[in-house]
Amino acid sequence: MTPDQIESAVAAAMPQAVEELRRLAAIPSVAFPGHPEEPVYAAAAMVEDLLRSTGLARVQQVPVEGSFPAVYGETPAPPGAPTVLLYAHYDVQPAGDPAAWRTPPFEPTLIDGQLFGRGTADDKSGIISHITALRAFQGRLPVGVKVIIEGQEEYAGERLEAFVERNPELLRADAIVVADTGNPRIGDPAVTTSLRGMAAFTIEVRTLREPVHSGSFGGAAPDALAALMRMLTSLHDDNGDIRVPGLPRGTFLGQGPAEEEFRKTAGVLDGVSLVGSGSLADRLWSSYAITVTGLDVPTVSGAINAVQPATRARVTVRVPPAGDPKTTVNAVVEFLRQVTPWGVQVSFGDFTVGSGFQADSGGKARSALNRAMERAFGRPPRDVGAGGSIPLVNTLLKQFPAAEILLFGAEDEDAAIHAPNERVDLDELRRTATAEALFLQELSRPSALGV
């Protein structure tokens, strides 16, 4: 197919793509414990139907131990052509407080060319990008294609990592497209070349057998909440830089966001300073970051006059691509032990770790993607980092060291993934699907393969 034909085919497929994204995003496929499992299985079934509609030779759900099923599809490569693995996930983050949404989170709503709803961007847009790109070829794919769509990336995604390690031949490919990132801004093409890793744990502090009256005992009885707050605030200095030994700032060689742009995207209030030192690219993509993501305390509305006997917090650490998550979490835990006040009892548990990723400078597949994205977006892509983590990527790199791993997608920085009012821009979705289809065609050319 010519580039013009591919662009026309994707454009013609967009009404169907939008309707399917609307239906898929209406399924509350939250794979977190405590949420209904039936919608997760319903999303898997719909993804299976969507993959079958592309004309792939083989499509099936495959069990993943301890997790929800992945959906797998494949079509063998024509003689001499490479094979591309396409990845996305059909599970989504919990919606959170419905009152924080301008539209119902699981009733996808189209407003001014943007589709709002949980999962419309992360990562059901990635699924629809793959589906639309494959449909452009009407079953006559120029390369071999394998597709893996998992169902528990947002919670405990390491279960698919174990699946990959046990089934390497099923997923072996020459190039891997991970459609779970996006551009800094709509229409600003970028390829994500680095990901931070992640470590997380829960800390619990105990001081008393039970709550005691703050009037009768306050001032002498040790408050578990006060102890934990002292420990957590000690993790950073007054400037917001990390105080834990062995976690130095890193350097990102590419261009990061401008401060004004970042403040707007992050929603930083007027007069509030950013934290940390170094460039924004350094802080966001190549340095450690420690965030308290949860705290068990009495609510203000339910407060009573009592000294708290126990409290817990969830701590998440983002790790630079070259950092070791296990060493990192050990350093943070040891630091917290050292700053524990008053001899309080402290324990740690529920550990999670995932490695980061640093792409090579680029090879034949990246060159093909550059040409495809330049055609789809009107300018060549630039390299960017991502502060978030996709632990599976590092597993793919270890299993298939010769494969080029390419991260791009329709999740621009304003898409509000993991937050209220998540949305995907439909023009961005079209350009992303077009770029992927053009990439598959470009990769099949002899000049792209060096033959």
Return the structure tokens found at 435. Answer: 């770029």
Cβ neighbour number for residue 358 with a 10 Å cutoff: 14
Q: What residues contact 16, with CB distance under 8 A and at least 6 apart? A: none
74 classed as catalytic: no
The closest of 24, 21, 14 to 44, measured between CA atoms, is 24
Task: List phi, psi (to 5°) of 49.
Answer: -60, -40
Q: What residues contact 102, with CB distance under 8 A and at least 6 apart? A: 116, 420, 421
Catalytic residue among 153, 174, 223, 282: 153
Q: 60-65 long-range CB contacts below 8 Å, 24 or more apart?
A: 62/163, 64/150, 64/151, 64/152, 64/159, 64/160, 64/163, 65/159, 65/162, 65/163
Distance CA 31, CA 156 (A): 9
Three-state DSSP state, 74 = strand
Distance CA 29, CA 42 (A): 8
The distance of Cα 254 from the centroid of its chain, to the nearest Å, equals: 21
Catalytic residue among 91, 150, 174, 180: 91
Integer CA distances (angstroms), 273 to 139, 229, 263, 314, 381, in order: 53, 21, 9, 24, 31
Please report where in the chains the tokens 């990102």 appear, as a residue: 252
Distance CA 296, CA 314 (A): 9
- Residue 61 burial (CB < 10 Å; 0-12/13-18/19+)? middle
91 classed as catalytic: yes
Q: Are 151 and 67 in contact (CB under 8 A)?
A: yes
The closest of 438, 376, 437, 370 to 406, measured between CA atoms, is 370
The closest of 317, 332, 335, 408 to 370, measured between CA atoms, is 408
Please report where in the chains the tokens 């200095």 appear, as a residue: 237
Q: What residues contact 337, with CB distance under 8 A and at least 6 apart? A: 346
Its sign, for the CA torsion 281, 436, 450, 188, is negative
Number of H helices and E strands in the chain, helices first, is 14, 18
Question: Which residues are the active-site residues?
Answer: 91, 153
